[in-house]
Structure 1
Amino acid sequence: MKQKFNYYFQKVKLLVALVLMAFSVQTNAQELFKLSGKVTDGTTPLPGASILIKGTTNGVASDFEGNFTISLKKGTYTIVVNAISQPKEVIVNLNKNTFITIDMADSFINLEEVLVSAVRVKGSSPVTHSNVTKKDLEKRNLGQDIPVLLNYLPSVTSSSDAGAGVGYTYIRVRGSDASRINVTLNGIPYNDTESQGTFWVNLGDFTSSTQSLQLQRGVGTSTNGSGAFGASLNLLTDAISENPYGQLSTAFGSYNTQKHTIKFSTGKINDHIEIAGRFSKIDSDGYIDRAFSDLKSYFLQGSYIDDNTLIKVITFGNEEKTYQAWYGLSAEELKEDRKQNPYTYDNETDNYWQDHYQLHWNEKLNEKWSTNLGLNYTKGKGYFEQYKEESAVSKYNNIVEATSTDWYGTPATDLIVRRWLDNHFYVLNFNANYKNKEYEVISGISASNYKGDHFGEVIWAKQFAENASIRDRYYFSDATKNEFSIYSKASFKLNENLSALVDLQERFVNYKTDGLTSDRNTLEIDKSYSFFNPKLGLTFKINNLNSIYTSFARANREPNRDDFKNGDDVKNETLYDFELGWRLSNNTISLNTNMYYMFYKNQLIQTGGLNDVGEYLRENVEDSYRLGLEIDANIKLSNMLSISPNITLSSNKIKNFILERDGTSKNIGTTNISFSPNLIAGNSINYQPTKNVSVNILSKIVGEQYLSNTDTEASKLDSYFTTDLNLAYEIEPKSIFKSITLSALVNNIFNKEYVDRGYTYLDYWSEPGNSFEVQGYYPQATRNFLVGATFKF
């Protein structure tokens, strides 16, 4: 019996050994593949995200750069990613070593982001856009305005009156000027209601209080305020700081430029309350003679936050004084001395005060519902002072008496005037957001009321009239503008690879003004508009690395105050925007390619001429278009070196341009749209040998452009190429300061003399091809520098 038992026991041992051997052979035959990837929040790496294989306990966490690696057998897996957000599932068919990028931007319910969720788009949306983070802005934040800091984004050009990026600065996107770029601050419209322009001079050092911004090119998504005809730019102000801090920043540079900033935060008090603020002072003499800027600004916020509620009370404002440089230089003056300023009166200055008060209440009702309420009041008041020599006394309502005659023989005198603006702006925004795994819907309303007075005073004259008093008003007009918009936008999955965006907006506008212009012409306007603005888009995910998108959008805009001043037959304009794009992202390259066709009806195109306060005149053209190709990329060449090139190639045309001159009309055929270069390209070479040192070389090419719409050689502006060098070094001391960051910026390192903007009256006063010209140019600074230090404690 014992022998039989031993016999069977040996057989069993042999069978078990054979089974184990077979299992081992089979296991070794199943090769393990490496699944690696990067978790991001848009373009920002997302550390600490949980990556789990669904149905198992197998998982890892992303590192500081958002990277992760996990080894798996061949097969199809569902990857579940968590990052303080709704979980995101990604299906991976693994039959080789594979790299994937997982963008969690679409999955967050972030109470800070709810502030701008109604006007921003997610990374996978069928809208052409660029995101810029606080880290990106801090590298070059040495006193220059936001348009200058955004100069290297695709299709963007920037300029400044004073030539050095401080004071009155301007931005264009796809050839469209700032009056056609919708700007919002925390979702609140910022564009001036009447002119529709954006005056960055009233946002001194606002970069230091900006958490992030998004630039949408083309029509983009529905937003609050005036319609986006070239782009929309929305800024989100500083997020709540978990910990208390203090920060001192100072910078010095060419043309006596100085920037001094103090920032602070209490951090979360009792885990719920934070108080933070900033005070800034920026001074610059400007590249142009006497084109100085004196900017004082502040930003204060008090916040309450818990798991479901964020309440922010924010106030910010600015006091600016700038010496006039908006008239530019003639060709002769430019050749003689490109830094000269034709103004000679010592107080030819612009003076303006603007204060904003915002209340935001964001509520997360549950995992699917959130709401946002935004209230705003803006108070603005200011004037520009101007000396007028031998000005006709008929313009001043009998306040002054003639002491001479002008060159027409009209009774005239010398005098000094101040032309004032005094305005109030109220805004109410509300939206509700519903979101689940399959779709997201945001619906909301925006209502605003503007009240503004325009008036002029004579503060000095050679001879006042007998019954006149100093500061008597020689003209006055008041204006009111009411806007109301209602919108709903839905993004949803049609299947695993195809998603859609539907965005519908109805906007109602009423504008009234009554009184006299500064030339004492009657200005009576009472216009109402109703605009329906639909937007549709599709995104197709080819695989985890590639996607394509397409969209169509229609937008409408009303004329501005100056358009009505120039003629009462001005029409509103309509834009049809078609976009087609491809996005690629892997561990070495992020690539965005986009084609656009923007077709306009009755586009209000700049003629090239200026009005009496330096703003460009506009006129309707029946048919015009912009056709372009945009490519931008971020290429990682090594762990220390990367490049970020972009290029825009475009054709910007007016069909059958009708030139009206001397009472006659002439069709001169298809011409180029003014201020619309066919080539805009940029590049950033980024070298970071250690985590504390960064070197950036930034280059910009802008092709030829015309100052008028007649294609005359006399109005052609030459192409230009500039290069900047940006250095930063962070020190981490062991006491007193948490960090000290030293930074330097050398602008235009090759010392190029160039002009990036100008004006002309060739559309009015000379036949095409005639050498006669009345025009001006805005020279920009040659080589100049800024150096700064930021102390954090």
Structure 2
Amino acid sequence: MKRTALLTISTCALLAAQAQTDTIDLVPVEVKAVRASATAPFTKTNIKKEEIRKQNLGQDLPFILNNTPSVVVNSDAGNGVGYTGIRIRGTDATRINVTLNGVPFNDAESSGAFFVDLPDFLSSVNSIQIQRGVGTSSNGAGAFGATINLSTNDLVKNRNIEINNSYGSFNTLKNTVLYNSGLLGKHFTVDARLSRLSSDGYIDRATSDLRSYYLSTAYTTEKTGLRFTTFSGKEITYQAWNGVSEADLKVNRRINYAGMEKEGTPYDNEVDNYRQDHYQLFFNHKLAQGLTFNTGLFLVRGKGYYEQYKADENYADYNLPVPASGETSSDLVRQLWLDNYYYGNTFSLQYEKEGTALTLGGAITNYDGNHYGKVIWAEKGLSEIKKWYDLDAQKSDANVYAKWQQKLGAYWQLYTDLQWRGVTHDIEGFRYNPTLGVKQFYNFLNPKAGISYNRNNWLLYTSYGVANKEPNRDDFEAGVAQQPLAERLHDLELGIEKNEKAYNWGATLYYMRYDNQLVLTGKINDVGSYTRTNIKDSYRAGIELQGATRITPWLQAAANLTLSKNKLKNFEEYIDNYDDGTQKQNMYNETTIAFSPSAISSGILTFTPVKNTELQLIGKYVGKQYLDNTENEQRKLDAYYTQDIRANYTFQKKWLKGSKLIFQLNNIFNTLYEPNGYTFSYYYNNALTTENYYFPMAGTNWTIGLNIKL
């Protein structure tokens, strides 16, 4: 079944219809089960391999998606390498469902998507689909605002070798070697990749040392396919997650506080050190005409730690004996470890015939995680190295879904989708609250339905869906009497699209209403930490506009614009009062949800001045964002606009097979901006103090890449 690119902001969506591809134009069945089809009544954007390849110069996945609708990205290191973040319609990564070949990727406990664990994974990705809103049923944590599905399992029909190298600002270097065997003996195929990526980062000492590999081999016949895929990422990143204070932002926006508890020069190994290995085994078989079965086994193995230098810590707090010197405290170095296994089975049965498409699918997964900490050095002496906490956690997840897409007459299609999901959290305790055990079971029913009308290159659709989401690990630390409730989302989408050879455009109206959304309020839990609290009523409503056009044979334009309103009702803020040890409460009838800009826009002008040469002007605007949920003008991120230039030249030599030289100049106007941050306030001496911290992005910077395809 042919995939249709739907209104990406790049004009390549206009031109790709007749383009030749080196992959067999077939959606792997494990991906097809969780993706929305071109006429399904859901809001989506598809990105093809050529568009990914054009942008892939070493930055992480969020930055490749930056110019798609309603997206805001950020980076701890300030240049898109290392730890990065993404929000879609104001929804952060913990509420974005991510799958790799239909296999869930989000961390089982935090629900976060840590793309740093898969360096240069994009070099192996053939296509990406982003679904905004509830979307279709998928495996893993429920989509609570968006879904990102990545596919690597397309069959490459021709043998080729690629050597991709790029270098840029902040000593950022990427080296990639790829090999595709093509079809061997008409049945076998092997795809492989090795990658190395390093960067000094824009923020001081925010270095990244990243390694990864990818290997996939498949056996296919007319009716049967068997594929084994394994990939791995190893990352060592110097920590840059403290942000920069408001005062320092004005005088030294690149300062990094990590490691500064050590006197003199900062501690040189204040790093995050983690490895993640993935193993996937897929089997699919055509049982009869129009009937296909698919199943997949997967294992994700993760292990690593982050290391910290801590000044003047008490031995007793780490359950360590006092050394012979009699000192009760010391500077020390500690490591906080995570050792985990995530494994399971996905499956789907698909039937297609005469306007009817039925899918029955689901997954059974289990997560085993061990959290522990070690002190590895102490200035005043360390009599032994042992774990000062050692806590296990387990999470089980099972889901079954049924999808039915039915053609009604010549132009109408009906879509229904029903998913049941059961989740069990079993947590032994927490580092600061080791005696608080949690065992919670959640039983979710997620229905979705919609209808679409497709005629004369017009597509109109509307859909309604419900999603439920369990709390994250940290939410449970609220205490026995403050255990969080699950969240629920009701999503209504109404869209219209027009697709022609020379232009396309679309508009989507959405209304996302939340029940018991978990947000930070400043309220402290039983151990004095801040945890999220359920807010009964909140919503996101907006319109997404997008389009692309060929103005002349040598000039194309594309743009998108999101205008939205994102509100919490009856929000209660808690502020620490250090004078008496209490918390002051403030009530708000309606406020704007944190990190939810009311306007997001992106645009691209593409010039082809001469054959094989393409120049692009890429603009991005993000409106102001509030750092918390009080809509306080003193706690916000300013609006910003950035402008980039990208140029690429394609070599037409026969033996080079479409090799490219790519140059990108980012933020050409040297805009000083911060897309992420945090804030906290307190009363002291009867005065309110607010402290804001920001994650600055780099000013003008550049990257040049040479992709050689043999």
Q: If the length of structure 2 is used for normalisation, what is the TM-score?
A: 0.92
CA–CA separation in structure 1 for the residues paired with 2:90 and 2:618: 21
Letter in 2 for 1:563: D
CA–CA separation in structure 1 for the residues paired with 2:159 and 2:518: 50
CA–CA separation in structure 1 for the residues paired with 2:87 and 2:531: 16
Residue 413 of structure 1: CA displacement? 2.3
- Residue 524 of structure 1, aligned match among 437, 441, 447: 437
Is 2:484 the partner of 1:570?
Answer: yes
Equivalent residue for 2:378? 461
Is 2:219 the partner of 1:304?
Answer: yes
SS at structure 1 position matched to 2:288 = coil
Residue 194 of structure 1: CA displacement? 0.3
Equivalent residue for 1:708? 628
Equivalent residue for 2:46? 131
Question: Conserved in 2, the CA contact under 8 Å of 1:218 and 1:231?
Answer: yes
Equivalent residue for 2:295? 373
Question: Conserved in 1, the CA contact under 8 Å of 2:71 and 2:88?
Answer: yes
Is 2:446 the partner of 1:533?
Answer: yes
Letter in 1 for 2:496: W
CA–CA separation in structure 2 for the residues paired with 1:609 and 1:334: 28
Greater shift, 598-607 or 161-170, is seen at: 598-607
Residue 266 of structure 1: CA displacement? 1.8
Question: Conserved in 1, the CA contact under 8 Å of 2:521 and 2:572?
Answer: no
Residue 318 of structure 1: CA displacement? 0.7
1:318-337 correspondence to structure 2 within 5 Å? 318-337=233-252
Question: Conserved in 1, the CA contact under 8 Å of 2:6 and 2:38?
Answer: no
Question: Conserved in 2, the CA contact under 8 Å of 1:395 and 1:519?
Answer: no
1:149-298 correspondence to structure 2 within 5 Å? 149-298=64-213
Residue 64 of structure 1: CA displacement? 9.4
1:723-762 correspondence to structure 2 within 5 Å? 723-733=643-653, 737-762=656-681
Question: Conserved in 2, the CA contact under 8 Å of 1:704 and 1:719?
Answer: yes
Question: Conserved in 1, the CA contact under 8 Å of 2:523 and 2:573?
Answer: no
CA–CA separation in structure 2 for the residues paired with 1:399 and 1:682: 58
CA–CA separation in structure 1 for the residues paired with 2:285 and 2:554: 42
Gaps of 5+ in 1: 1-38, 46-62, 69-82, 84-108, 406-410
Describe the shift of the 1:751–1:353 C-alpha distance in structure 2 as closer, same or farther (beyond 3 A).
Answer: same
Residue 313 of structure 1: CA displacement? 0.4
Q: Report how many residues are paired.
A: 684
Question: Conserved in 2, the CA contact under 8 Å of 1:420 and 1:456?
Answer: yes
Is 2:419 the partner of 1:505?
Answer: yes
Residue 540 of structure 1: CA displacement? 2.1
Greater shift, 416-425 or 772-781, is seen at: 772-781
Residue 671 of structure 1: CA displacement? 0.6
Describe the shift of the 1:119–1:616 C-alpha distance in structure 2 as closer, same or farther (beyond 3 A).
Answer: farther
SS at structure 2 position matched to 1:478 = strand
Question: Conserved in 1, the CA contact under 8 Å of 2:101 and 2:153?
Answer: no
1:2-81 correspondence to structure 2 within 5 Å? 41-43=3-5, 66=17
Describe the shift of the 1:249–1:189 C-alpha distance in structure 2 as closer, same or farther (beyond 3 A).
Answer: same
Residue 395 of structure 1: CA displacement? 2.1
Question: Conserved in 2, the CA contact under 8 Å of 1:729 and 1:741?
Answer: yes
CA–CA separation in structure 2 for the residues paired with 1:690 and 1:608: 58
CA–CA separation in structure 2 for the residues paired with 1:129 and 1:387: 45
Describe the shift of the 1:547–1:741 C-alpha distance in structure 2 as closer, same or farther (beyond 3 A).
Answer: closer
Residue 685 of structure 1: CA displacement? 1.1
Is 2:333 the partner of 1:416?
Answer: yes
Question: Conserved in 2, the CA contact under 8 Å of 1:40 and 1:66?
Answer: no
Describe the shift of the 1:318–1:607 C-alpha distance in structure 2 as closer, same or farther (beyond 3 A).
Answer: farther
Residue 347 of structure 1: CA displacement? 0.5
1:317-396 correspondence to structure 2 within 5 Å? 317-343=232-258, 344-396=266-318
Describe the shift of the 1:548–1:676 C-alpha distance in structure 2 as closer, same or farther (beyond 3 A).
Answer: same
Q: If the length of structure 1 is used for normalisation, what is the TM-score?
A: 0.83
Describe the shift of the 1:242–1:322 C-alpha distance in structure 2 as closer, same or farther (beyond 3 A).
Answer: same
CA–CA separation in structure 2 for the residues paired with 1:483 and 1:203: 23
Residue 635 of structure 1: CA displacement? 1.4
Question: Conserved in 2, the CA contact under 8 Å of 1:729 and 1:743?
Answer: yes
SS at structure 2 position matched to 1:761 = strand
Greater shift, 256-265 or 662-671, is seen at: 662-671
Equivalent residue for 1:694? 614
SS at structure 2 position matched to 1:656 = strand
CA–CA separation in structure 1 for the residues paired with 2:441 and 2:506: 40
Residue 317 of structure 1: CA displacement? 0.3
Describe the shift of the 1:415–1:610 C-alpha distance in structure 2 as closer, same or farther (beyond 3 A).
Answer: farther
CA–CA separation in structure 2 for the residues paired with 1:665 and 1:337: 35
Describe the shift of the 1:349–1:415 C-alpha distance in structure 2 as closer, same or farther (beyond 3 A).
Answer: same
SS at structure 2 position matched to 1:669 = strand
Describe the shift of the 1:492–1:335 C-alpha distance in structure 2 as closer, same or farther (beyond 3 A).
Answer: same
Residue 586 of structure 1: CA displacement? 1.9
Describe the shift of the 1:740–1:495 C-alpha distance in structure 2 as closer, same or farther (beyond 3 A).
Answer: closer
Letter in 1 for 2:635: S
Residue 666 of structure 1: CA displacement? 3.9
Question: Conserved in 2, the CA contact under 8 Å of 1:751 and 1:783?
Answer: yes
Equivalent residue for 1:55? none
Equivalent residue for 1:22? none
Residue 525 of structure 1: CA displacement? 0.7
Letter in 2 for 1:555: A
Describe the shift of the 1:703–1:617 C-alpha distance in structure 2 as closer, same or farther (beyond 3 A).
Answer: farther
Equivalent residue for 1:598? 512
Letter in 2 for 1:678: S
Q: Among the aligned pairs, what percent are the same residue? A: 42
Letter in 2 for 1:566: A
Describe the shift of the 1:728–1:605 C-alpha distance in structure 2 as closer, same or farther (beyond 3 A).
Answer: same
CA–CA separation in structure 1 for the residues paired with 2:450 and 2:317: 54
* Structure number with bigger Rg: 1
Deviation string, structure 1 residues 547-570 (Cα, Å, up to 9, x no partner): 211111011000011111234421
Greater shift, 783-792 or 654-663, is seen at: 654-663
SS at structure 2 position matched to 1:208 = helix
CA–CA separation in structure 1 for the residues paired with 2:326 and 2:245: 28
Deviation string, structure 1 residues 86-144 (Cα, Å, up to 9, x no partner): xxxxxxxxxxxxxxxxxxxxxxx976431211110011111000000111111111100
Residue 702 of structure 1: CA displacement? 0.3
Deviation string, structure 1 residues 482-513 (Cα, Å, up to 9, x no partner): 11001001011222222111000000001101
Is 2:31 the partner of 1:116?
Answer: yes
Describe the shift of the 1:190–1:512 C-alpha distance in structure 2 as closer, same or farther (beyond 3 A).
Answer: same
CA–CA separation in structure 2 for the residues paired with 1:770 and 1:700: 39
Question: Conserved in 1, the CA contact under 8 Å of 2:491 and 2:512?
Answer: yes
Residue 267 of structure 1: CA displacement? 1.6
Equivalent residue for 1:777? 694
RMSD after superposition: 2.6
Is 2:457 the partner of 1:545?
Answer: yes
CA–CA separation in structure 2 for the residues paired with 1:136 and 1:601: 38
Question: Conserved in 2, the CA contact under 8 Å of 1:229 and 1:575?
Answer: yes
Residue 41 of structure 1: CA displacement? 3.7
Residue 306 of structure 1: CA displacement? 1.7
SS at structure 2 position matched to 1:774 = strand
Question: Conserved in 1, the CA contact under 8 Å of 2:231 and 2:277?
Answer: yes
Q: Which has the higher contact order (CA 8 A, sep 6+)?
A: 2
Describe the shift of the 1:385–1:464 C-alpha distance in structure 2 as closer, same or farther (beyond 3 A).
Answer: same
Describe the shift of the 1:357–1:758 C-alpha distance in structure 2 as closer, same or farther (beyond 3 A).
Answer: same
CA–CA separation in structure 1 for the residues paired with 2:106 and 2:325: 42
Letter in 1 for 2:70: S
Residue 44 of structure 1: CA displacement? 8.3
Greater shift, 522-531 or 689-698, is seen at: 689-698
CA–CA separation in structure 2 for the residues paired with 1:328 and 1:400: 35
CA–CA separation in structure 2 for the residues paired with 1:494 and 1:707: 48
Describe the shift of the 1:64–1:153 C-alpha distance in structure 2 as closer, same or farther (beyond 3 A).
Answer: closer
CA–CA separation in structure 2 for the residues paired with 1:770 and 1:130: 49
Is 2:544 the partner of 1:630?
Answer: yes
